[in-house]
Chain A
Amino acid sequence: MKHVIVGAGPSGVIAAETLRKVDPTSSIIMIGDEPEPPYSRMALPYYLIDKINEEGTYLRKSSSHFGNKDIDIIRDRVSTIDPKNKSLNLEQHDAISYDKLLIATGSHPITPPIEGMDLPGIHSCWTLEDGRNIVNKAKPGSNVVLMGAGFIGCIILESLALRKVNLTVIEMGDRMVPRMMDQTAGNMIKSWCQEKGVSVHTSTRVDAIEKDSGDSLKVKLDNGEVLDADLVISATGVAANIQFLDGSGLETDEGILVNDRLQSSIADIYAAGDVCQGKDFSTGEYSVQAIQPTAADHGRIAAMNMAGKDTVHQGCVNMNVLDTMGLISSSYGLWMGIDGGESAKLCDNDRYRYLSLSFEDDVMVGAQAVGLTQHVGVLRGLIQTKLKLGKWKDHLIKDPTRIMEAYLANTQAIGHNAGVI
């Protein structure tokens, strides 16, 4: 059996390793288009603050890891796929055939349709190469404008602030991380950043970027303000890397459409990670989540199915954890709540603490937390196990911090379970 994986990010790597485990005699080829060994974009913010060097971003630390597992890595880009002949055309190498194909090509930063976005001095923060450029230009005292205060914007915000630049953040939503957290939390993060000396403009758009004298830029905002910038970082969202599939017959929407085995519309072709429009645990619908835990789950499940071990994907809980200049926030599942569902909220603006739990009947379906680092994972556990909370829902409405107790009371030998053992 010959497995070919397009993409060398977390999903592709986990798929390759899983395939080696469950299909030991197969041939496995992984194709990646970046010059470095497989690395993690998640680690880039820590590279920006010199917490780690480039090697620290690598997904696997041993240089012989892939060789030892007999996983061949080809450095190239796939130009087109030919499902009829089960082969891939590469830009530089000869075409390669496959028995089973996994597309794990990830996503790319989108460029907003704004005049001047092609000027030098405007970077995304997506690849190691981007990271190197930012490290070079974000010098102490330089003026940096960050476009977008979504997840990626917020996570690199701290790196930039630590590099002692004069930072201004422009977000068109009415709060920070609008796709991850509600008004209360998003505005709490905003005032935290402002208190730390970062200028944050929400409900604001960039109208145009123009070249100024030398290397500097002028960023024009829709409120009439004009900002000087030595560096502009664009973090306005990502989109799935599906362009190369045009004409292949593979069905796509926001990402590659798959069934609950992560199999695409064409037999023998699977998709995983940011490029895959997979099942969402909470909604039952298929959407692109573009998060690390989902990429890992997809990689493993797609590989199982490619190896002929029928494995159903139950759907991933959409979740994120974010550190914005030391303020840690996380959100899970249907964090915005559901119609007719109850919720439990605890909010302390002065101390930057917020906890919001959403329920459907007595089952937790979503959660958001700001300033909480202890036992946060249990929120995922409570949601994904659909644990019936019984009277503990009322306890949580009175005191949402008792999430661990709510979990333990319903799973351990205490309370109504005390008779067991």
Chain B
Amino acid sequence: MAQRTRSQQADRIRHLLETEGDAVHAKASSFHAQRGEAYDAADDLEALRTEARAIKEDAIDRLPDLIDTVKDTVEANGGTVYVADDAADANAYVADVVDTQTEEHGIVGDDDTPSVVKSKSMTTEEIDLNDALEAEGIEVTETDLGEWVLQVADDTPSHIVGPAMHLERVEIAELFNERFDPDEPLETAEELTQFARDYLADHIQEADVGITGANFVVADSGTITLVTNEGNARKCAVTPDTHVAIAGIEKLIPTLSDLEPFVDLIAKSATGQSIAQYVTMLSPPTDSPTLDFDDPEEPITAGDEAKTDRDFHLVLLDNGRMDMREDDQLRETLYCIRCGACSNSCVNFQSVGGHGFGGETYSGGIATGWEAGVHGQESAAEFNDLCTGCSRCVDACPVKIDIPWINTVVRDRINRSEDPAATDFLVDGLTPDMEDGGIDLGKRFFGNIGTVAKAASATAPVSNWLADADPVRGLLERTLGIDHRRDLPAFQRESLVDWFEKRGGNATSSRRAARANEADVDREVVLYPDVYTNYVDTDRGKAAVRTLEALGIPVQVPDLPESGRAALSQGMVATADRQASRLYAALAENLDAGRDIVVVEPSDLAAMHREYERLLPERSFERLRDNSYEICEYVYGLLENGADPSALSTGNGAEPVAYHSHCQQRTLDLEAPTVAVLERCGYAPETTSAECCGMAGSFGYKREYYELSVDVGERLAEQVAGAKTVVASGTSCGDQLEGLLERDVPHPIEVLAPGSRL
């Protein structure tokens, strides 16, 4: 499938925002909040996540052995295992099972069409099983209510766990009333559910074969685990005499005891329940008697050979998974337990749902890995840009998958697979990157923002006037995809580094710090001049310098290389890798001298603390991580160690401040120190519940995503609109809020700095 143009993508997103966004947002954000509460309430959550992760790592590592084991155990139990190479292979096998079963036992029910009832399974969606069976003349009925609604509506799942999440109750009622024409029109959720229950009960009773997925498969006992709330999976498995379970090979875990952490985690991460209603652990064929509703007078327990009456098939699907296992970057995807927590935690997903933020089958952040692995990179390319790398899914994932990294890597691969464009010359001069031509021009522009900013700063204010001119905005939109509705950053003629040098550099800073140093603190700081703090929002950099000096800390502001954050967000991994090495080299001597590295922009700190683990040698990564701090975190440390807050701009104890913490800062657990510092300094901070501002670096500038970015931003803006003072720690967050609220939104350090204007 060819990728959409910017304009087509913008239209599609606008349509989803209007038609499905509200329904998805209501449910996904509520699941997300409930997950947070469930995680907080569990006393051993981190240990569980760590254990679950380790089990998956081990299971995928020895997957071929586990496949051999489960073949042996299921066959010893009396069932059959079939390993299917791909979708066609799996579908043909299942169709064959249904045919054989109906030939041998006759067709249940009144007509002569073989019938199958199914419980919810994303894996069968992946292989389009229903279409394949129907093409063979087999009737298929979905029994999960959400899936059944989609089957009636001829629609596709918009969420891994809540497939009909994008539909409102009234839409479902309309659909049912039109399709089934009940005596009394259906209206309430209760009525709709009762109707579905009765309708589906008939189908389950007359089904020849029951098909389920499997959340986990225990290799050494041949146990299929099904996690559901409705009970339909139990009915599909227990009622007909033939049960087919279809599972990706990655669902195998070694032993029963390995199942425990997953049973404990999966409902918490999916919906915030402590445990799902039904955790069905079946080692088929089971002793439960089959139910023959065509023979109503025969006791169900009559056949004492019940066990031998049952037929069980486990279909294990490869469909690209063995290749994913060999791929160092995609392997982690196989640890996914399909709980949907990454979708629920994602602000972009909450606004557009899985029909926008999803590929052929899978949706949400982890879908990039799944789609690239099972359907190919093109399917991932459809939606991969909707992951902004905000990283809020990282805390949500029950098996600690680095979902943003998978998105970055796949973006990089997509970039490299695109043909060089004739207009590459437009950015070639400005972009000293490591990328081959062919990558989207806008991505290359934003990925090299440091170089762009340096050039724009050197020519400010002319560059700012020029950039604001209508013809230039038109050109920027057409070539780089920068939306004309977005205010562009105004570059400062004097950078932070120049300002610092001009006021006397290190010597001046040491003098000022010595004068203020009553607590006798013996630390020195290198303040990292990130691109925005250095060239655009120099005020927050100056505030950081003044604050540190007032607390007795001498500061240096050397001209340092970019962190690689901008390149990472555009999927330019090679460029980021080079920048990480350069920055580390430039900082090494300071680290050796025992200086602390303090960072204002949270996204740059997050690069050092998270992505650098993959870009630098382990010792370098740890050394930089252990000696670098977010500015307010560092101030908090100073105050805790005896520095006097009265040297700063303090409030009266009750001064309200609305504080929005940057998304990546939250993932580093660094929201709390800023809150604590504001409180220590006499303010009454109130934090926002919005996980991300929606701007996310370059994302909100892009023409195709502008409206989505504003949709997300407005939810945040509503939360803080009434506050007298609004502060935000990220450049993007501040820009987004300033645009929407039309007022100044400084960094918290600008409120705290001595002589603050606020």
Question: Do A and B belong to a common assembly?
Answer: no
A interface residues, Cβ below 8 angstroms from B: none
